Amino acid sequence: MQVGGTGSPLHAFGAQKSSNALRKTNRQLKKILERLSTAQRINRASDDAAGLAVSEQLRKNIRGFKMATQNVQDAMSALNIADGGANEISSLMQRQRELAVTARNDTLTDRDRQSLDAEYQALSQEIDRLAQGTQYNRQNTANGTDLASGNAAVQAGSEADDQITLPTIDFSTATSGMAGTSIATSTDAATALDSIDGAIQSLNEQRSTVGATINRFVSTVDNLSVAMINTQAAESVLRDQDMAEGIVELTRQQLLREGGLNAFQRFNEVSRNHIMGLLG
């Protein structure tokens, strides 16, 4: 009866065991080579199912942070455009106040005041034109509609409810109380002065609100940047391959493979010698 020959159960068991060990080592070698070539520890769900789920959630947040940053920067641009329009309107209002103060002087005649009023009315028209024409992406930013309506929301985070509402902005003469004012007479000029002072105060308050919102957006961008960096670091820990560790593992698996091949060859050699001994 054969005990150790190539056809014996003992030889078959040894050969199968050596073959299984080599296949396992080859699988591990293939996996670590893939990880090193992609620089990622997780390339498919089977590599780490729980780690994949968490890292995908982190990736979702990272991409959300990136787009939210762009959203906030766009909103800052819109508000800066509105503030630029407000700066020019402020200069026009200051000129109107100069004209009104001049018209209050009784050394002037009503005919003189009418000449001043012509410029005054032209400035009012220009204020309304600027308020209507100040836009970002074809949307109004200075007349109380569109982005200036007080209802425009900016998606400022990765979650759906993380929004910031833009303030109401309206620099038109109708809202400021200057619509219909005149400096054609001394009495009209006195009334106009009060209206202009109120309009300038309203303009300054709105500009202050715009400036405060821009500063808030600056802080939001800084916070999003920090959150994105930290989330990327957390995602990297889960997903990325530690290259030094990977090279060590590659070397270990290569040594195991070489050792397995040598052991398999040695096993076959011993089996052949044993057979020859039995035959001799």
pLDDT tens, residue by residue, 175-222: 999 999 999 999 999 999 999 999 999 999 999 999 999 999 999 999
- Check whether 223 has a pLDDT greater than 80: yes
- Listed by start position, the domains of the chain span 9-39+241-279, 67-239
Which of 21-25, 54-58, 129-133 has the highest average model confidence (pLDDT)? Answer: 129-133
The Cα 149–Cα 104 span in angstroms is 37
What residue has token string 């994105």? Answer: 228
Count the alpha carbons within 13 Å of 262 in the hemisphere toward its beta carbon: 6
The rounded Cα 90 to chain-centroid distance in angstroms is 34
Q: Provide the CATH number for the domain formed by 67-239 in this structure.
A: 1.20.1330.10
Closest CA to 251 of 38, 32, 40, 43: 32
* pLDDT for the residue 3: 45
Helix pair angle (243-279, 9-38), 10° resolution: 160
